[in-house]
Amino acid sequence: MTRGLNLQALVVLLRWPAVAAFSGGGIFLAASLAEPAHRVERWFDLLLLTLAVLALHGVTSHALNDWIDWLSGTDKLSPGLLSGGSRIIPRGLASTRDLIFVGIAALILTLILSFWLVVRRGTGVLLPFAVGFWSVLAYSLPPLRLAYRPILGEWLAAFPALLACILGAFWILTGHLGQDIWLAALIYGFLALAWFAEHHLADISADLAAQPQKLTTAAWVNLLYGRAATRYVPSLYALLALLPVAFAASAKGRTLLLAALPALASSALALMADPSSALATTRAEQAMMVLAMLEAGLLILLF
């Protein structure tokens, strides 16, 4: 039995490491690349955006994902190191009803904050928020439930949401978008996508036993080619960052090739981690999170 969602459960639900290494790092990257004058001028707008992203990504997205994954059974079977949701249901910290309530409440808060930003910054704010709402709802909820479909979960939900977060934050601060922020967003986005894919390796067995089956890209590759082949999914995602790195280096100078180092290191970590070991993939995921944050710092210095 639970007594309703309390502060402890809410903190656990937020999954701070994932939020910090995904949307948190993206906002930090955008704010740091924006001109200093605009950062000072628009600090309140940035605060509103950060709170909105925290509510949408940290609370609504995770609440809906925990709810759906508990119903399908995959979270009940997960090894639960970093995977398997926030684990607040099996720990007795919240019920599925609590998750629905807090998810809707956080969604309403996000709508209020987004409306506030529209009033302050104009209707251009609507586009990144529309992408964010789409990604959160389509990723977990039927009928689309993109998290349960190979490739689509990453490319139609997670990746667009992160790009919208970075580009939206930059636009709110500066009122424009240029080549540099697009390249930086793609580089960081691919590294975030790599650890996001690594995250799914530990849950392959649980996902395949779920009803309906949760066919993440990793689980799908496992069915087609075996568990050993799943390591190539996060490895290839990390290597995709080399494309915008090479373009940026050709346009702005070879120094930007330094931004390739975290991508190469992430790819190597994914290849070396035993995909059949939850401990090994979790450690690789944690290291790849750190590398994504280091990449954000490098991009701030290099651009």
Q: CA angle, 229 as apex, 161 and 192 as ends, to 5°?
A: 20
For 63-97, the pLDDT digits (tens) are 999 999 999 999 888 887 777 778 888 888 888 89
Give pLDDT, residue 2.
47
pTM of the predicted structure, to 2 decimals: 0.94
What is the tens place of the pLDDT at every residue in 21-48?
Answer: 999 999 999 999 987 656 666 788 989 9
Cα separation, 117 vs 114, whole angstroms = 5
Closest CA to 228 of 154, 280, 184: 280
Helix axes of 159-174 and 126-140: crossing angle, nearest 10 degrees: 160
**Six token digits for residue 101:** 């309530």
Q: What is the DSSP letter of 42?
A: T
d(CA 189, CA 26): 8
Average pLDDT, the chain: 92
